[in-house]
Structure 1
Amino acid sequence: MELTLTLSASNLILMAVGLWGAKWLVNAWIALYLAFESIEKYPGQGFLLLHPFRGWTIVLGTVFPPRGCMGDFYAAFSLYKKYGSTCLSSVVLWGAVPTYWLSDADAIKAVTADRSTFTKDVQAYEALNMYGLNILSVDGPEWKKHRTIANPAFNDSNNNLVWKQTISIANEWFSDIDQQLMQNKKLGDPTTLVDLSSVLARITLSVIAFAGFGRRAPWSEDIETPGGQVMTFKPAVIGATKSVIPYVVTPTWLYNLAKRVRIPLLTSAGQYFDALKVHMLEVISHSRAKAADGKGFELEAALLRNLVQANMIEGMAQGCKLLSDDELLADMFAFLLAGHDTLAHSMTFAIELLSLYPEVQDKVREEAACLWPDGFPCSESVGRYKESMNQLGYTTAVFQESLRLHPAVPRLSKIVQRDTILPTRQFSSGPDGAIEDVMCSEIHVKPGNTIIIDIVGLQRNPIHWGNDAEEFKPERFIDTPTYHWPRNAFLAFSSGPRSCIGQRFALTEATCLLAGLVLKYEILPPKNLKGTTREERQANLLKWIPSATATPINAFVRLRRRK
């Protein structure tokens, strides 16, 4: 009798679980059906297994989704062309969320301009909160607070420091290059191979450390280690940056376990984050001490000054700091990440493209020679950045065109808060593939829908950039009396109120370095690509993988001293 009762109870439990599972499946199928019904009149109607703006999507991005499928990181404008529309529809499996992909400048402008209707997908940025909430991971009033504190630091005075430090660190790099060239010349090779990813990470880190945080990071030696910390500043920053994605996809419990038990990748990631925290705290402590002594803040650390000052005063609530200790650390990391890793990768693509287009190099060299007729300046005679930048319009256009083809962030995600109509376009393709018969259309998005701003798709959209949108043509970014380049179709620095506050910082550093590099050296593809066509060299050199930013993987060029 007891055995019978036990079996009956087990059966009841199994039946309950089965009924719950069946109910869940039915509800899930109904939700998917309704989601697809809501997008049935829009082109695309793709099915996404993973959210297109989450950690695992980035990790799997090189192989999944397969090429040519909805969500493919490498599809550029091809899917829009396939369906004849600048807006494509899809549904994400988990949550049955209707998701719309935009490559239309007018639709994207409407999204980025209306922050109350289209809010930031903050869930996607939670992984960047390893130190606390920061300017990248918040929205609404909290984001406005962070932005208001940091924005004044990005001014002309700061850009002058960027220009000065870029020239100083470039001279140190060029000195190393010349020594390598002398050694190679003795062996019969007038060139030297350069690993751009490694070199540019060091350069951009030195510039943001100096111009943003008053921390000098010499080329030939690392910063002194505070408090006997084993790991020095540069490897801590670079290692922490590379550990962002492993941190994103790791459950908190497993990440915490890796601090006690060695787990490959995760344990070292924790060590990088911990070491960087020590260095950032040392910088903060030094600034606080100077303020307490009445010496004020260093002029050469405008961003640090603003962040620390906000941390030392009370906000609206009594006893509450305007910027908490955690937020101060988190903002420092966010600016270090954006100020060195993102820019290093963007400059890598630009230099690789210059190696493929010697005719573009010639124009950059002519422009740089007019600015610096006596050669690249030393750090003592740098001049003012604004006057110099005005004379490097074509070089700036080269960097912008590289950003158009290879934006650091391929896509962004927004959450719809209220019913809205967005303008889009439909079109057809002629026999030669050219876009024809462009017609205005619209889509109706609803609360809870997801909007994917497809930056790569937008910036390769022939409707905005012409039928040669896949080609590298820096002249696109030079206005003439009859032509103005389409500002709304360029989102390399985002757009609207949330556009990148470091845009001028990045343009100043990149333009200065590119001009100086081309003035002194001829940039050539690696030897293993000799005898290949430009298209084959381009396919090899410009490979990239999704990560915290679009990351080049074949970042090697050769340099040869110009006569």
Structure 2
Amino acid sequence: MASFARDILLSRSLHCRTVFPFLRRQLWFYAGRFLLALAMFAWTGSREVAGMVLRKDVLVFVLYCFTLFILFRLFKLKQQFDITCSSAIFSVFPTANPVSYVMGTNLGFTIGMEWFWLGKWEKYQKLGADVICIRSLFSSVPEFTVANAGAIKKISMDRTTYKKPTAMYSMLKFFGNNMVTTEDEEWKRHRKVASPSFHQKAYPLVWERTSSIINNMMCHEGWNDLKSGESFTINHVHNLTTKVALVVIAEAGFGLRMDWAEHIKGQPTPGSQLKGEAEHAASLARWGGWFWKREEMSVQQSLRIVATNAILRAVLPKILFWIPSTHLWAVDRAFGNLDVHLGNIVSTRRHLISSGTDYEEVEIDDGFDTGDRHVERVQKVDLFGALIKSALDCEAGPVSGRLNDREVIGNLFIFLLAGHETTANSLAFTFANLALNPRCQDKMFEEILAVCGGEDPTFENYGQLKYTLACYNESIRLFPPVNIIPKVAVLGSWLRHYHHHEGVFKDVWIPVGSKIMLDVVGLHYNPHYWTDPHAYIPERFLKISADQKDAFFPFAGGPRACIGRRFTEVESVCAMAKFVRSYRILPGDGTGASLLSLQRRLLQAKQVITLTPVDCPITFQRR
């Protein structure tokens, strides 16, 4: 089917008038026989007489109708191919449809989400342009993938012509509308309230919490007991970064205290915190009590389960959480309990902030190198409190600019999802790249010693750790958390792109209603902006050109750029500085293995909602 369709689309000599008249005559012939059979049945009332006429005609009639439809769509697509884009590919089904999730990517038939990651720049190189038009048989809407920095910048900045397809993000409305699920004036309302949450006072807190959490982890997990030269291996470093990112977002984002000792000691495993809750849910289900008794979890327990299972809840329909599965029941219960907990916390924090009593007790070092500490009451500066304070400030203005409690909670959940999932993945890939590139790791270590000396890195050192930040940026260039950013064209427009085979710029027409996918992976591997794009070279971010700034798109761009970019950068630089300062990062179980085999194992990734490492063993050796 796919090859037949492609032949028709590429044919310049096949026209409608050579095929359609024959099919039209056959269609009318069988339609007439069908009407004759109906008339005979109405006249005689005998099914046998009508069946003599209809025995084979119904099936043939249906086949002819289907053939006519297929050919009509192919000829229509051929006309659209000729007028839209010279670099176009054909697929029977559109991208990211249910068929592709089952069958994966099979070019000419289905195009799955992994096509964007696996194809990188090669798909554009093959077609000779950095804008590709995708036409499908069962969709009249053209799709365009874009890997040109200028075109992506235009699409990101022009919010009148190109809109965000909010329907695609409806699954993220777990707790209410938020910045990700809204557009136009509603999005502006959310953005206005949420922006003050990421103020300058928040970032020292992020650094302090990250540093404290890692110190706590090293103490409870026995890292500090290692002597120089001793090492241990974590089978999958993503498990470690997931726990670190979760506790950081819980403390710096939600103002919750989550001691590392609350977790199971040893290597953290995703879902291990579900064990107790899942077993309890199973015992209730066995006695039929689960349907009327729902014991509450603590907010910390609920937060851990929600953070590690948000994708599961987003993908599966709600009805599936009623099937006999202890894991699904625990997840469903965690979401319900977290909703209740957050609602109570919002009400409490609203009252405390409005009354000026939103304080917490913290231990402060006396500063005389005596080890003495005293407790002091300080005002909370976490994202949760800042968001509620901003919402309270907006309540003094017009009603249209306010956020209700559901919308406040909805935005907090997005902060949790983005601050946990993407940061954990990015840190894991960064550790893998440092393990595979000891030259870059040694250079980072020298920078940390030069900036911090023998002291623990502090937030005041953040601006000086330029190479450390460059290592992180280079890692998310190679492994961007989000592979594509969807848009939809609400107005027709021309889009300029570069045609590599001809060496000239061309304009492609984007019809109204077209789906546009900003291909972050293709852009990050575009050799027009990045020399040797597959290599890990952090130095390129120390002296970055204007074109490269536009071609670096892991946090999106334009008015809808990621609001938490500085948050994750501060957290990641702190974590990297803490680990690299005390430990040498090596590939796990890499004795005698070639560099190529290590790269294939440590850098293997899969596309879920964000790009996630598959198997990344890392060894930490005490310096």
> What residue in structure 1 maps to residue 375 of structure 2?
none
Quote the residue 1:392 is aligned against.
465
Provide the rounded CA distance (Å) in 1 between the counterparts of 2:583 and 2:560. Answer: 37
1:535 lines up with 2:608 in the alignment: no
CA deviation vs aligned residue, 1:469-494 (integer Å, no higher than 9, x gap)? 111000110127xx567110011000
> Which sits farther off after the overlay, 113-122 or 46-55?
46-55
In 2, distance between residues paired with 1:493 and 1:506? 10
1:209 to 2:250 alignment:
yes
The CA deviation string for residues 51-104 of structure 1, in whole angstroms up to 9 with x for no partner, is: 4356775x559x434699855131110111111111111124443221111110
2:158 is the counterpart of 1:78: no
Residues 1:322 and 2:386 are matched in the alignment: no
Q: Which moved more, 1:270-279 or 1:390-399?
A: 270-279
Compared with structure 1, are the counterparts of its residues 291 and 181 closer, same or farther at alpha carbon in structure 2 (3 Å cutoff)? closer
Q: Give the AA of the match of 2:485.
A: L
Identity of aligned residues (%): 28
| Matches for 1:107-118 after TM superposition, within 5 Å | 107-118=151-162
| Residue of structure 2 equivalent to 1:433 | none
Q: Which residue of 2 aligns with 1:344?
A: 424
Cα distance change of structure 1 residues 16 and 2 upon mapping to structure 2, 3 Å threshold: closer
| CA distance in structure 2 between the partners assigned to 1:503 and 1:495 by the alignment | 11
Aligned equivalents of 2:407 and 2:71: distance in 1? 42
Code of the aligned partner of 1:395 = T
For 1:13-412, list aligned pairs within 5 A: 30-31=72-73, 33-40=75-82, 42-48=85-91, 50-53=93-96, 59=101, 63-65=104-106, 72=115, 73-176=117-220, 178-179=222-223, 182=226, 190-193=231-234, 195-221=236-262, 230-251=296-317, 255-256=318-319, 258-259=321-322, 261-263=323-325, 266-291=328-353, 293-296=355-358, 298-307=379-388, 310=391, 322-376=402-456, 382=458, 385=459, 387-412=460-485
- Structure 1: unaligned runs, 5 residues or longer: 429-436
Aligned AA (1:469): P
Q: What's the CA shift for 1:149?
A: 0.7
CA distance in 2, matches of 1:127, 1:55: 15
- In structure 2, do the counterparts of structure 1 residues 55 and 396 end up closer, same or farther at CA, with 3 Å as the change threshold? farther
Residue type at the aligned position of 1:419: G
Task: Give the residue type in structure 2 aligned to 1:322.
Answer: R
Aligned-partner Cα distance in 1 for 2:63–2:176: 38
Q: Aligned equivalents of 2:71 and 2:487: distance in 1?
A: 25
Q: Which runs of 5+ in 2 are unaligned?
A: 1-40, 265-275, 277-293, 360-378
Matched, 1:450 2:515: yes
Between the aligned partners of 1:222 and 1:114, the Cα distance in structure 2 is: 46
Equivalent residues of 1:237, 1:272 under 8 A apart: yes
Q: Contact (CA 8 Å) 1:166, 1:509: kept in 2 or not?
A: yes
Evaluate the alpha carbon distance shift between residue 294 and residue 368 of structure 1 in structure 2; reply closer, same or farther with a 3 A threshold.
Answer: closer
Preserved CA contact (<8 Å) 2:94 2:139: no
Distance 1:60 1:534, change over 3 A: farther
CA distance in 2, matches of 1:135, 1:24: 44
Return the letter of the residue paired with 1:79: K
Q: TM-score, normalised by structure 2?
A: 0.76
1:476 alignment partner in structure 2: 540
CA–CA separation in structure 1 for the residues paired with 2:314 and 2:62: 32
Question: What TM-score do the two structures reach when normalised by structure 1?
Answer: 0.84
Tell me the distance in 1 between the aligned counterparts of 2:70 and 2:303. 43
Q: CA deviation at 1:218?
A: 1.9
Check the 8 A contact 1:196/1:555 in 2, yes or no: yes
Tell me how far 1:509 sits from its aligned partner: 0.8
Contact 1:87 1:102 in 2 (8 A): yes
Tell me how far apart the structure 2 counterparts of residues 465 and 396 of structure 1 sit (CA, whole Å): 18
Corresponding residue number in structure 2 for 1:431: none
Residues 1:269 and 1:363: Cα distance change in structure 2 (over 3 Å): same
- 1:328-383 per-residue CA deviation (whole Å, 9 max, x = no partner) reads 22211111000111111011100110010111110110111122212425xxxx4x
- Matched residues in 2 for 1:147 and 1:30: separation? 46
- Aligned counterparts of 1:25 and 1:68: Cα–Cα separation in 2: 18
How much does 1:296 deviate?
Answer: 4.9
Q: Which residue of 2 aligns with 1:511?
A: 573
Deviations 1:248-299 (A, max 9, x none): 4434xxx23633x425764444233223223322422331342465525753
In 1, Cα distance between equivalents of 2:168 and 2:622:
45
1:219 deviates by 1.6
Amino acid at match of 2:610: T
Q: 1:68, 1:239 → 2: CA distance? A: 38
Q: 2:464, 2:519 → 1: CA distance?
A: 33
Distance in 2 (CA, whole Å) between partners of 1:156 and 1:516 is 22
Letter in 1 for 2:552: F
Q: 3-state SS of the aligned residue for 1:408?
A: coil
Q: 2:17 maps to which residue?
A: none
Specify the SS of the correspondent of 2:618: strand
In 2, the alpha carbon distance for the partners of 1:438 and 1:173 equals 54
**Counterparts of 1:149 and 1:29 in 2: how far apart (Å)?**
53
Give the SS at the match of 1:486: helix
Helix, strand or coil for the counterpart of 1:424?
Answer: strand
2:621 alignment partner, SS class: strand
Quote the Cα distance in structure 2 between the aligned partners of 1:485 and 1:394.
20
Alignment of 1:523 with 2:585, yes or no, is yes
SS at match of 1:204: helix
* Residue 413 of structure 1, CA deviation: 0.9
Q: 1:136 to 1:51 in 2, by over 3 A?
A: farther
One-letter amino acid matched to 1:457: G
Determine which of 535, 555, 559 is the counterpart of 1:493: 555
Q: Equivalent residue of 1:418, what SS?
A: coil
Relative to structure 1, the CA distance from residue 13 to residue 342 in structure 2 (aligned partners, 3 Å threshold; closer, same or farther) is farther
* CA deviation profile, 1:428-462 (whole Å, cap 9, x unmatched): 4xxxxxxxx63211211010111110000001000
Partner-residue secondary structure (3-state), 1:462:
coil
CA distance, structure 1, for counterparts of residue 234 and residue 484 of structure 2: 32
- Cα distance change on mapping 1:141 and 1:26 into 2, 3 Å: farther
Q: Are the equivalent residues in 2 in contact too, given 1:167–1:513 (CA < 8 A)?
A: yes
- Aligned partner letter, 2:539: E
Matched, 1:419 2:492: yes
User: Is contact 1:55–1:248 with CA below 8 Å preserved after alignment?
Assistant: no
Q: Any idea what SS the aligned residue of 1:530 has?
A: coil
Contact kept in structure 1, 2:90 and 2:108, CA below 8 Å: no
Is residue 504 of structure 2 the alignment partner of residue 439 of structure 1? Answer: yes
Shift of the 189–301 alpha-carbon distance from structure 1 to 2, 3 Å rule, reads closer
Task: State the one-letter code of the partner of 2:81.
Answer: I
Distance 1:7 1:307 in 2: 73
Query: Greater Rg, structure 1 or structure 2?
Result: 2
Sort the Cα spacing of 1:316 and 1:180 in 2 relative to 1 into closer, same or farther, 3 A.
closer
Aligned partner letter, 1:508: V
**Alpha-carbon spacing, 1:158–1:49, altered in 2? closer, same or farther (3 Å):** farther
C-alpha separation between the residues in 2 aligned to 1:283 and 1:395? 37
Q: Partners in 1 of 2:515 and 2:238 — Cα distance?
A: 34
Q: Partner letter of residue 534 of structure 1? A: L
